[in-house]
Amino acid sequence: MKNTKNIIVWTASVIGAAAVIALIFGNVNTPREPGTISVSGECLTSAPKDKIAITLRVTTVDKNATKSMKSATDKMAQITEFLKTLDVKMQTTEFDSYEKKEWNQSTKKYDKIGIETQISMDVSADNMEKIEKILNAFAGKENVYTEDLRMFTSNETLKPIMENCLGGALENARARANALVAPDNKKAGKLLSVSTNIGRSYSSGPVFRAAKMALFEESADMAIDTGGSLVAKDTEITVNVSAVFEIK
């Protein structure tokens, strides 16, 4: 009986000691969550508009749907062959065929005109001379319309500027974090997470339906300078970030 009591006491002692050791080493091996701080940062910049674009639209109408579509595609094929000689970028943005109706005031109902087919293509170039050649080539051509003359910033130009602005927004956020924790003799450490919001302002250009630049209508975003060149406001870029830093 005495041996049994000794065994129970010894077992209880071992279990108690193990619990204490586990508690001590458990606390040592479990790191505390580092302090963090959440801040915002922003960057405002601009990028030059280095490309000029125009939209070419072909519109045909025929009683027969097949003839309407063939007439439009043939005309656009001729345009495409000409554009290939100018070293420009082309992208078809619309291909639509539908029944065209017009309101008849006398009969008070819509009259069926035929099947209308529209094909639109955006054409961009790196200088105005190429765009002027396009305008002159198709001015007054039947079923061909030139519209939406505009300037824009190419992705090649935009990408490095936006990346630099993102870096500036993060630096702005870190500076704010450092300022907030400085009274406690702390500073922002590792960047733990970040979310971004990037905005760009696109200015729409005026509709341009004439071949001569003298007929160009100036707007608040686009104009012709004294040398006869087309100029436009830069693309405005805003980058906002929400960042979480470790405090150390």
DSSP string spanning 18-58?
A: HHHHHHHHHHHHSPPPPPEEEEEEEEEEEE---EEEEEEEE
What local confidence, expressed as pLDDT, does residue 201 receive?
A: 75
Domain 51-152 CATH assignment equals 3.30.70.2970: yes
Please state the domain extents for the chain. 1-30, 33-50+153-248, 51-152
CA-CA distance, 88 to 121, in Å (whole number)? 12
Give the domain 33-50+153-248 fold: Translation Initiation Factor IF3 (3.30.110)
Coil, helix or strand at residue 64: coil
What local confidence, expressed as pLDDT, does residue 19 receive?
A: 44
- Residue 144 contacts residue 121 (beta carbons within 8 Å): no
Residue whose C-alpha is closest to residue 124's, from 94, 86, 96? 86
What local confidence, expressed as pLDDT, does residue 94 receive?
A: 96
CA-CA distance, 109 to 111, in Å (whole number)? 7
What local confidence, expressed as pLDDT, does residue 233 receive?
A: 85
CA-CA distance, 87 to 108, in Å (whole number)? 50
> pLDDT per position in the chain (248 positions), as tens?
544 444 444 444 444 444 443 443 444 333 435 699 999 999 999 999 999 999 999 999 999 999 999 999 999 999 999 999 999 999 999 999 999 999 999 999 999 999 999 999 999 999 999 999 999 999 989 999 999 999 999 999 999 999 999 999 999 999 999 999 999 999 999 999 999 999 987 554 443 433 334 334 444 455 544 444 556 789 999 999 999 999 99
Residues in the chain: 248
Give the single-character DSSP code of 81.
H
